[in-house]
Structure 1
């Protein structure tokens, strides 16, 4: 198993090298005009990740965009999240990224530092309106003092619950508390279900929950200089927290989860809670289907009272390829997808809570969207500064963390060996 993971890490490094070579081969950043010439006929490729629901929303947004800009033809394509980034890596190596891309925060540093993304500074305050975007939102897309992405929306880490399953189990909503309190609550749900479903999953398999605990102690996963913000002992302590729930049947067995793919335990109504980003609610309701009209959304467990452990993250950004032949048209499309009232009305919180005040004001929030808005306002006392822009290779590190978490659930690796392997693989990704 270790050699296989080593090989996967090697592939990631090779891909990173390919991105670096592609970046070196890029041309000069196009000069920006003040506006886009509406008489110019251009075609733009737009790529995003998601499902059929999001694809239809993008189709509606493009139709609205074309009412205002009929000479800009937009060709949209979408994939699942993993496939999206596999295709981008292939395209980057060949110098052919789409003109406009929905972009994940964890890849922003990697692609921008390799010269693959257009510097958006010349368009800010012109083609790309900045008045509707608070400065802390604009700062999200800055790497090395240049703006490479515009946040479409924000989200925060939260705890979704299934009220239907809780009623069946005879258990009240999670009232808040420590991680140990959450474990006990999940166990009561599992026991109350009579074997029909579980209280949740093994939360120690998500690096975001580890990040939450580190931030409660005043740290971050990585420093501004790209160094790990934690040591082996901290990671060991975190993974050991999941030992009891993995062994006593509190959480859903991983073998059962794999049978459900591509859905998960929560949107299959087999777990009553899920720790994740708060913009996932719509997808969960869609997956649960008929009979489910609402979800619970509460704060995640607390590591230390009063800590600023939560933060607003860009659920996604929009970026422009450095190699685009139509930067002004691409910037016009980005501005529409981020700032326009039509965008806010169409997407709602499908991409997260709209970051633009213009889009947010125009959004007719459905009950779940309003719930997300209320949630983010309600956690204001726990919100701290966003962490540094993720290190190059963060996506690989996050996936390795998840894979090791699965092996811990299966019992095929000890915590000590898991820690050793993670630090070894992380060192390869960070230092090559």
Structure 2
């Protein structure tokens, strides 16, 4: 990346952060009442999602199946990686130009709903079947008794290991549910076994989900029911400092990850392991071309802790300014409820959240592997966290960005801690 492009990237990120913060303050009026819906009229809808080529191919297959039933509804797709996706949505929301239908995250529910950037799905309930969801999963897209989005599935935090690379370098898989120190030692041993050609893993302290597990293991959460941070500067400083061994050579250098972005270290075959949500198995296999991967439980800092939880974060929502709310609702319903969606996506958008989508999912191969993993960690599942605070999505991204800066050596841990809390103070107030 050139210095100029790096500066441009920082400018865009800063602009997006300002715009995202502005979502809390600026409302977005609903669209004018549309003419009477004609189900046979030709309609064009924009649909945006984050993901990779594998996810794009699956969506193309799903749209083809949708068009067999609704040939008059054209679906135009765009996709990017996760950070770029939310920068673009923030810009669109500020200008009133969100896609008709878009992948959504529960991290942004308060932020987008309270500022009027999500359609109340109750207004199109004739075209969406809500009865196929358990109430707990409906709740992941509900705020103040209004259903703003629906989950495609739910996931669990997991650790993925490339079996091909383990065989190549004759290294045994790490123990699932080990302590962080034991997992760090395994990463260092793998990096040594490969003579630095492939690293044991990534610096997982960059992800706020890892910090969340540590907090939950000690009976705390990232944020409180009152909308405050649930941790102190010292706790965050200690967590980021715990990655010193990783950044000292056990984990892939951050600069190498920047060079292969948007692929991850595991997807780009730079690492033998990586932690993320359980629905990433298909994407990791596709990106890495590995023949086999194993999913194991992530490390835990307290034996017997109930630190994991069902995360229904990947959702589908509709813009309140869409000119075709009924058609948009029909497509949303197809994505979250159709048996075709279960057949095409399996568990790659999360373990199916609706009974109708699950009915179309053949739990074989990687889908059965994900289902088996979810069942295997059932005794570690605790209560769901409080509803994400307004601006949580921005805080999650800030955490990741600062973690990357620590890895690049462009900021110190003490500076990063202060910058995170400064950002949190602005967002939460």
Query: Scaled by the length of structure 2, what TM-score is found?
Result: 0.90
Residue in 2 aligned with 1:130? 130
Residue in 2 aligned with 1:165? 165
Secondary structure, aligned partner of 1:319: strand
The CA deviation at 1:372 is 0.8
Residue in 2 aligned with 1:288? 288
Residue in 2 aligned with 1:276? 276
Q: Extract unaligned runs of 5+ from structure 1.
A: none
Contact 2:21 2:427 in 1 (8 A): no
Within a 5 Å distance, the mapping from 1:12-411 to structure 2 comes to 12=16, 14-16=18-20, 18-20=22-24, 23-27=27-31, 38-124=39-125, 126-176=126-176, 177-247=178-248, 249-289=249-289, 292-411=290-409
Secondary structure, aligned partner of 1:101: strand
Q: Deviations over 1:252-295 (max 9, x none)?
A: 22222233333232122221110111122222211222xx2110
The CA deviation at 1:305 is 2.0
Structure 1 residues 80 and 339: alpha-carbon distance in aligned structure 2, compared to 1, 3 A threshold: same
Q: Deviations over 1:406-425 (max 9, x none)?
A: 33334444333332222112
Q: Equivalent of 1:11, from 9, 12, 15?
A: 15
Q: Deviations over 1:286-328 (max 9, x none)?
A: 1222xx2110100001121222211111241111111123322
C-alpha root-mean-square deviation of aligned residues, in Å? 2.7
Q: Deviations over 1:178-218 (max 9, x none)?
A: 11111111122122222322211212111110011111111
Contact 2:42 2:72 in 1 (8 A): yes
Tell me how far apart the structure 2 counterparts of residues 142 and 250 of structure 1 sit (CA, whole Å). 42
Q: Extract unaligned runs of 5+ from structure 2.
A: 1-7
The CA deviation at 1:12 is 4.7
Tell me how far apart the structure 1 counterparts of residues 9 and 422 of structure 2 sit (CA, whole Å). 11
Query: Scaled by the length of structure 1, what TM-score is found?
Result: 0.89
Contact 2:83 2:397 in 1 (8 A): no
Tell me how far apart the structure 2 counterparts of residues 6 and 187 of structure 1 sit (CA, whole Å). 32
Secondary structure, aligned partner of 1:313: coil
Tell me how far apart the structure 2 counterparts of residues 377 and 309 of structure 1 sit (CA, whole Å). 15
Runs in 1 of length 4+ with deviation above 4 angstroms?
Answer: 4-10, 27-33
The CA deviation at 1:123 is 4.3
Structure 1 residues 100 and 232: alpha-carbon distance in aligned structure 2, compared to 1, 3 A threshold: same
Tell me how far apart the structure 2 counterparts of residues 410 and 42 of structure 1 sit (CA, whole Å). 47
Structure 1 residues 260 and 59: alpha-carbon distance in aligned structure 2, compared to 1, 3 A threshold: closer
Structure 1 residues 90 and 422: alpha-carbon distance in aligned structure 2, compared to 1, 3 A threshold: closer
Contact 1:149 1:318 in 2 (8 A): yes
